[in-house]
Amino acid sequence: MDPHPAQVTVVVIGYNDAAHVTDAVRSALAQGPAVREVIAVDDCSTDGSADLLDTLAAADPRVRVVRRPVNSGGCGSPRNNGIDAATAPYVMFLDSDDVLPPGAVDALLAAALGRGAQVAAGLCVRRELPSGREVRWQPELYAKAAVVPRPARRARLVHDTLCVNKLYRTDFLREHGIRFPEGRYTYEDFVFSARVLAAGPRIALVPDTVYVWHVRRSAERLSISLDRADIDNWRARTEANRAAYEILLGAGEKRLARAVRAKFLDHELRMYTRELDLRGPAYRREWWTLTRAYLASFDAADFALAPAPGRVVARVVLAAAEPRDLSRLKEIAARPARLRPPYPRAADGTPVWSADLPQVELDHLLERPMHLLPAAVDAELRPRARAARLRLRLHELYGRMADAGPRSVDVEFVHRESGRAGLRRTAGLVPDPDDDTWSAEVPVELSALDSGAWDLRLRLHFHDGTSRDTTAHAVTGPGLLRRAVVPSRRHGILLVQPYATHAGALALRIAPGWRGMTGVVRRRLGRLLH
């Protein structure tokens, strides 16, 4: 006897996604007999998507197609259509360009039934395409199976704003009137998730991967949430965050409401700050104005809950009427955070952001444990025919580095797509007698690295036994960050490009062999011609 009779409705929503919608629906059907029905809501597509869905429905009676007469402009309305049409005791959501991995529904349904939970949630992985690189979403929440009797018992739940990696009791959503915002609402998940948490459900967490989120950054039409280049995206994000806060506060969930604001400081604010130098002056000015206005509604307790880097960024924005210090803010907003010189102090000796913003105090740096300090390391890499030389320079930080005693640095180049280490080295850190820095020079055998992007990661070791994992700021200047061709025993030649990431960290691109070099040149010419 099947332990999971047909108890789940999977709502698949799509708009003009004929290339992927079939795979999404089939991944839901492949979940097996636990799925009673797949309700495919087509948001008035014009590319033949609805016809593909009709073909799937003709082949499998579990598929029901709902055609919206007009396009909603967002994801909320079609999901609401799916909730209204669902006949099964449980419902979950799937976007047309994503898939459910095998066993996802069984894992969530078993947890919901076995734990008497109105909501069951599992791990989502973001799969970058075409590389296939996977990044786990909020893995801390799903490290092991658990039951949360009430959401306030685990405030970290507000960080998982996705609706798609969860199974909901249908009558729970209907009884509490939990729906998505209608129409074009860019971050509808934020509001829906807040409404779910505000209703106080019992939540079962499972470590299983239950959703694969496909990220196609090279697509002609980016997903709504990935298209961050327009200021309207930031405006929508802050408004959705504000709405989530007010929903939870209105439900008496003050602890969760404050956690929403702490998440904003640690996640949204830091992410968009790292991208400010990619935007034009008009965007930056408007972003600064919008952000100042929103942050003005935060109180001291909201700031106290957030990790230090987000608090520092927020206080600089609040203290300055116009955009400033963008390069330095990008570094403190990085993960891990880096605080580059200068290191000024107020008249009483308190560390501050800058001499003209003494109200932005950095006194927490005098107390933070070493493994959390925003250590600043500058890096220069000069590819050469014989051996590349990586030069590192660690800066003092209000006396904390000298107190700990810099001893050595572990250097590692990690392949961005696969996550594997291609090169590891260790070098001693030598104090510079002329300034408050410590230096190391490391030979780098570039031939040990395959094609692709490589991130530089460092681990600093100190004489007091502490250590700090960090990245290095890419130094710019004459002869630096230039493409070079170097010989390789394995590949004949290597095309090497040191560069600075969006967060300002040093990284490498490698193209081995004549074929690799030709491919790089061809792509570059293509960009120039277009």
Task: Tell me the pLDDT tens digit for each residue of 403-438.
Answer: 999 999 999 999 988 888 888 999 999 999 888 999
**pLDDT at position 528, please?**
46
Position 514 pLDDT exceeds 80: no
The pLDDT tens digits of the residues spanning 153-195 come to 999 999 999 999 999 999 999 999 999 999 999 999 999 999 9
Q: Quickly state the pLDDT bin for 225 (edges 50, 70, 90).
A: low
The pLDDT tens digits of the residues spanning 436-463 come to 999 999 998 888 888 889 999 999 999 9
Q: Which residue has the higher pLDDT, 451 or 118?
A: 118
Q: Quickly state the pLDDT bin for 5 (edges 50, 70, 90).
A: confident
* Stretch 99-119: mean pLDDT: 98
**Which range (2-6, 9-13, 236-240, 429-433) has the least confidence?**
2-6
**pLDDT at position 168, please?**
98
**pLDDT at position 490, please?**
65
Task: Say how far apart CA 291 and CA 320 lie, in whole Å.
Answer: 11
CA-nearest of 40, 55, 32 to 101 is: 32
Tell me the CA distances in angstroms from 418 to 128, 139, 275, 457, one per residue in order: 11, 18, 24, 15
The pLDDT tens digits of the residues spanning 234-258 come to 999 999 999 999 999 999 999 999 9
**Quick check: 391 and 399 in contact, CB under 8 A?**
no
The pLDDT tens digits of the residues spanning 77-90 come to 999 999 999 999 99
Q: Which fold has domain 8-215?
A: Spore Coat Polysaccharide Biosynthesis Protein SpsA; Chain A (3.90.550)
Position 505 pLDDT exceeds 70: yes
How many CA atoms does the CB half-sphere of 425 hold within 13 Å?
20
348 alpha-carbon distance from chain centroid: 39
**pLDDT at position 228, please?**
83
**Quick check: 240 and 157 in contact, CB under 8 A?**
no
Position 523 pLDDT exceeds 70: no
Position 103 pLDDT exceeds 60: yes
Domains 8-215 and 372-529 share a fold: no
For residue 295, give every residue at least 6 positions away whose Cβ sits within 8 Å of its Cβ, in sequence order, or none. 314, 317, 318
| Residue 430 bridge partners (DSSP) | 439
Domain ranges of the chain: 8-215, 231-367, 372-529
**Quick check: 11 and 92 in contact, CB under 8 A?**
yes
How many CA atoms does the CB half-sphere of 399 hold within 13 Å?
8
**pLDDT at position 529, please?**
47
Tell me the CA distances in angstroms from 288 to 271, 308, 321, one per residue in order: 14, 20, 8
CATH of domain 372-529: 2.60.40
